[in-house]
Amino acid sequence: MSFLGIFRRTGYQGPVSDHFDGERFIMPGNPFDKSREAVLKWMLTREKSRWPARVDQPPQVRPERTVGADRVVVTFVNHATLLVQTHGLNILTDPVWSERIGPVSFAGPKRIVQPGIRYEDLPPIHALLLSHNHYDHIDMETVLRLFRDHKPRILAPLGDGDWMREAGIPGIEEMDWWQTLPLSADITATFTPSQHWSARGLFDRCLSLWGSFAINVKGQTFYFAGDTGYGPHFKTIAERFPRIRSAFIPIGAYEPRWFMRYQHNNPDDAVLAHQDLRAEHSIGIHFGCFQLTDEAWDAPARELKLALEKYAVPAADFAVPQPGSVFSYKL
């Protein structure tokens, strides 16, 4: 995988919409501007917590090869990677098995926990749902490996097909917000908004879209929020998908707030999102694996507990998983 992608300047070409201005994607109503000055200010003023080099974790789990039509089984692998299994279908969200994430394999944030499932123990993978092109969500080393070993369908945002084809993966199914594709006779995936942005290099800011996915099974929804700040989109998604059995919501990568609030939930925001989505159950994701921002590695779990108390949400309704945690939902 070439690091030359960091110089990419061209992106999606298509009609203007409420979230595409003809060149770049935009988040309607979002005041966030990720200007170079703001990045520089963050770099110069950072008060970065010290993360452990490695943390203990439970043993890795071996998932079932196949799960029938009576259940949905969700295994938290790490970061934003989840294995979702039902109706004989095995789906991965934003798969990351690499040691480090970034444009080159020897630099970039290094993982402090092992994936909850060994790569070799994965069941046959039928589909990848990719939320946006940040390196911690589209890890090309992992995607190329999965493509070679499993030949899955790959659903990704508008604008990510060309560079992924150049990187060796043809046939990306690019999706706009609210577009739905069938994954099987019983299951569909709808690409839904998130409040975020995209870039892999120096010149490609917002040239491709970002978002979240609603996986719809028998009138019930399993919702993968991708990367997102807190915004009105959660309520809109709940209107379209009124029965969310489980929502996978980011709870990490949120300090400092002046810079992160429009692009990353903090745990307080995550509880508000859980309520706006009217999710029966939520699972915290996007924490405790790679140090991306300034909060302590164990802060998301602590602060989520406080936020659940603050909003009187039962702790059992919003899980903080460890790599390898398995959640089973009866259909």
What residues make contact with Zn ion under the rule CB under 5 A? Answer: 134, 136, 227
- Closest separation between CB of residue 77 and Zn ion, Å? 14
- Closest separation between CB of residue 280 and Zn ion, Å? 25
Using CA of residue 227, residue 224, residue 243, residue 324, what is the dihedral sign? negative
- Closest separation between CB of residue 247 and Zn ion, Å? 17
Nearer to Zn ion by Cβ, of 103 and 123: the residue is 103
Cα(71)–Cα(44) distance, integer angstroms: 49
Question: Which amino acid is located at 81 in the chain?
Answer: T
Cα(126)–Cα(112) distance, integer angstroms: 28
φ, ψ of residue 189 in degrees (nearest 5): -125, 125
Cα(50)–Cα(298) distance, integer angstroms: 11
Cα(16)–Cα(22) distance, integer angstroms: 5
Nearer to Zn ion by Cβ, of 107 and 315: the residue is 107
- Closest separation between CB of residue 136 and Zn ion, Å? 4
Nearer to Zn ion by Cβ, of 88 and 103: the residue is 103
- Closest separation between CB of residue 11 and Zn ion, Å? 16
For residue 49, give the nearest of 254, 327, 319 by alpha carbon.
254
For residue 250, give the nearest of 153, 150, 136 by alpha carbon.
136
Nearer to Zn ion by Cβ, of 12 and 67: the residue is 12
Nearer to Zn ion by Cβ, of 183 and 251: the residue is 251
